[in-house]
Amino acid sequence: MVEENFLTFGSLASGGRHKLTAAALTLRDGTVFPGMAVGDRVEAEGEVIFVTAMSGYQEVLTDPSYHGQIVVFTAAHIGNYGANQAVSQAPGPQVSGAIFHELWLPPVDHWLSEEDLPYWMRAGAVPALTGVDTRALTLHIREKGAQNGYVGPLKEGRASALARAEKIPSMSGLDLASRVTCPKPYKKEAIMEDPEDREIYRVAVLDFGLKTAILDCLRRRNLELTVWPASASASAIMEEKPQGLFLANGPGDPAACDYAIRATQAFLGRIPVFGICLGHQIMGLAAGAKTYKLPFGHHGLNHPVRDLDSDRVLITSQNHGFCVDPDALPQGVRANMLNLNDGTVEGLVWENSPAFCVQFHPEAAPGPHDSHGLFRKFRSMIKECHA
């Protein structure tokens, strides 16, 4: 048990604006990290992972790929520029809970801020635990691996909290895409960003937990989108006669999304296909590859990826807990991008059909713009196939 609790920082001096309750995170292995719950809601449960982002905290909290997870921010100070709905990647928070070393509690004076982060999280019913030794917690996850955890009142007691943590379902085998997808199809018009090329192409988007920034990046390439629920059948999508298929990001175990794997198989080799994150993993599975769970995943804005074809290094934004097995790739599919931290697969290309996918987030919201060209590549692929 971690006994020391870092509650000496300045922002809690102004904590009178917020209800603070003594609380703790209890991991499945029995380790306890105490802190203070902010707001009315104290309880949270899910897989505990850490995020290395120093900014873009609202984008993280609203990313559907974090559904079912409790996110630990490694940056010591979070919330100092407030919250603004314009940067949200979904209508509201998607995480099960959030853990901070120092969540900024006093009023925020920032020209873009519409609301203080603690109030924004409270409105979205997201439990927030502050005053936690997040450095010790992050090191624990790195050494022991990501694991389920329960956040609850400190007075509940360790035994009861541990029993709650042990009952949380494992992320392996869990289909979460069906929980965060859109309920029915909808359309998004193209944005005429390039005056030199005004041709519009129709793209079907499978929503496994789609981020707003990804939609925007596709639309700016003069692509007219029909967004489909994750479980949409290939036959229903084909009736719309799409000229390209895009597979979105999302949470959970890709192998549990058998419906999406079958739908993707129907399109590979027929029209251009591009996948990101969970979409990347599903494309790999649809081709006959395998996936496996990483020890603690990749979550943050600073992951270096080497493009083997161009010999360039991209600094990428990532959020995933599963990966495609490079030793199980079928003939005709090759890994063209690798993570420079651990050598895992970050990109796949199909040698004999117009298809490619990446594990990272090229829309980079938040993050750099190193990989925005992948959206242009997708459009060029569609244009070439329909020339």
Active site residue ranges = 277, 361, 363
Euclidean distance between CA atoms 168 and 185, whole angstroms: 32
Q: How many helices (H) and strands (E) does the chain have?
A: 10, 17
Euclidean distance between CA atoms 172 and 297, whole angstroms: 13
Residue 43 phi/psi, 5° resolution?
Answer: -85, 140
Are 221 and 378 in contact, with CB atoms under 8 Å apart?
yes
Smallest Cα–Cα separation from 359: which of 379, 342, 380, 376? 342
Residue 135 phi/psi, 5° resolution?
Answer: -65, -45
Which stretches of the chain are DSSP H helices?
Answer: 57-61, 117-123, 134-144, 158-166, 177-180, 212-219, 234-238, 258-267, 278-287, 373-385
Euclidean distance between CA atoms 40 and 230, whole angstroms: 34
